Amino acid sequence: MIWGRRALQHVKRFKRLPFQPEGLHRCMSAATQNLVVEMDGKSGVAVVKLNKPPVNSFNLEFLTEINILMEKLENDKSCRGLILTSNNNKIFSGGLDIMEMYNPQPDRLAEFWRTLQGMWLSLYGSRLATIAAINGHSPAGGCLTALSCDYRIMAPGFTIGLNETQLGIIPPFWFVESMINVTGQRQAEVCCQKGLMMTTEQAHSIGLVDDVVPGEAILERAHNEMKNWLKVPDFARQLTKRQIRKPTMDRLIAKRDEDIQNFVQFITKDSVQKAMGVYIDQLKNKAKK
Ligand SMILES: CCCCC/C=C/C(=O)SCCNC(=O)CCNC(=O)[C@H](O)C(C)(C)COP(=O)(O)OP(=O)(O)OC[C@H]1O[C@@H](n2cnc3c(N)ncnc32)[C@H](O)[C@@H]1OP(=O)(O)O
């Protein structure tokens, strides 16, 4: 496993387990501040658990950690698959950290958005087979993260969706295209315009989620599904994925700066800031009740 110097600065604990029973050898665990990583060198599958309380919301630092980890896994020739899940069995991810977008410093806001673009580009375009084991609620940026994987397994009793319009926000074109590419144009039109947060079952019925499995069995199911994906020769799977996803990725790459400018301009509008303030108050008041 290759650990870049930059990445190592973020790693608090990384150890080869001293003794493991047969079948678990070459298993490595690592933790950054907000990520728990278990790498099984034998199968080449890394399980990455989002671990940023309270709701795994993506701020600049968390996105940076994820990007560094993705780079490390991409460069690790022994790694073939990634299972992305949450260490919190109720919330996969609460999406983007709303505090990044409230009363922001323009420079940091721009950097935040560039880093989110980077996260999406590396996950959506990953050479690895990627499975999201969605073991909790997954609104907005959480849904985008799951949409970026190759396969989604979700536990019942939770909700998922691109709910931006409900917050008075327009989902960027690459969020919407990620949804279209998974569910098809008609379903994406309905879901994105209405900002629907769907139950696991509803998400399954429109193909947003591929499989529904109880939370306690979700990782086992993800590992079994991963075996199927890894039966395909890597180069054939990778080049096919690239062929399918490249046009969507190229559209963002070509408009990256413009997309950042649009985002900064939109978020810093007085009306958007006001609406954001109301939304944050609602969230905080709900949490107090
Ligand atoms: C052009 C512009 C494009 C912008 C695209 C935007 C994409 C996004 O992702 S915007 C963020 C959208 N996310 C949400 O709207 C989710 C809001 N949160 C929730 O719905 C819920 O919190 C939950 C389902 C994720 C979890 O519910 P629950 O377990 O009941 O926890 P609480 O609601 O009590 O929340 C605990 C704690 O966490 C804070 N919090 C929740 N979500 C966020 C968030 N996205 N960012 C920052 N902080 C968040 C919440 O305020 C509570 O904080 P405290 O009151 O300080 O405990």
Q: Go through the domains of the chain in sequence order and give each one's CATH number.
A: 5-288 (3.90.226.10)
Q: Is the pLDDT of residue 32 over 90?
A: no
128 confidence band (pLDDT: 50, 70, 90): very high
Catalytic residue among 35, 50, 69, 96: 96
Q: What pLDDT is recorded for position 265? A: 97
Name the more confident of 229 and 289: 229
Q: Where are the alpha helices (DSSP H) in 148-199?
A: 173-183, 185-194
Using CA atoms, how far residue 224 sits from 4, 40, 100, in Å, is: 30, 14, 37
Q: Is the pLDDT of residue 220 over 80?
A: yes
16 confidence band (pLDDT: 50, 70, 90): very low
Say whether pTM exceeds 0.80. yes
**Per-residue pLDDT tens for 175-214?**
999 999 999 999 999 999 999 999 999 999 999 999 999 9
Q: Is 140 in the pocket of ligand 1 (CB under 6 A)?
A: yes
Q: Is the pLDDT of residue 123 over 50?
A: yes
Residue 167 a catalytic site member: no
- Tokens at 238, concatenated: 């990778």
Q: What pLDDT is recorded for position 10? A: 40
Q: Is 263 in the pocket of ligand 1 (CB under 6 A)?
A: yes
Q: Is 134 in the pocket of ligand 1 (CB under 6 A)?
A: no
Atom 33 in ligand 1: which residue has the minimum CA distance? 287
**Residue 56 C-alpha to ligand 1 middle, in angstroms?**
9
Q: Is the pLDDT of residue 225 over 80?
A: yes
Q: Is the pLDDT of residue 9 over 50?
A: no
Q: Is the pLDDT of residue 26 over 80?
A: no
Atom 55 in ligand 1: which residue has the minimum CA distance? 284
Query: In whole numbers, what is the pLDDT of the chain averaged over residues?
Result: 91
Residue 164 a catalytic site member: yes
Give strand ranges (E) for the chain.
11-16, 27-32, 35-40, 45-50, 81-86, 129-134, 138-139, 151-154, 159-161, 198-199, 211-212
Q: Is the pLDDT of residue 14 over 60?
A: no
Atom 35 in ligand 1: which residue has the minimum CA distance? 287
| ipTM for the predicted complex | 0.98
Q: Is 161 in the pocket of ligand 1 (CB under 6 A)?
A: no
Phi-psi region of 44 (alpha: psi -120 to 50; beta: other; left: phi over 0): left
- Tokens at 270, concatenated: 């007085």
Name the more confident of 134 and 3: 134
**Residue 199 C-alpha to ligand 1 middle, in angstroms?**
17
101 confidence band (pLDDT: 50, 70, 90): very high
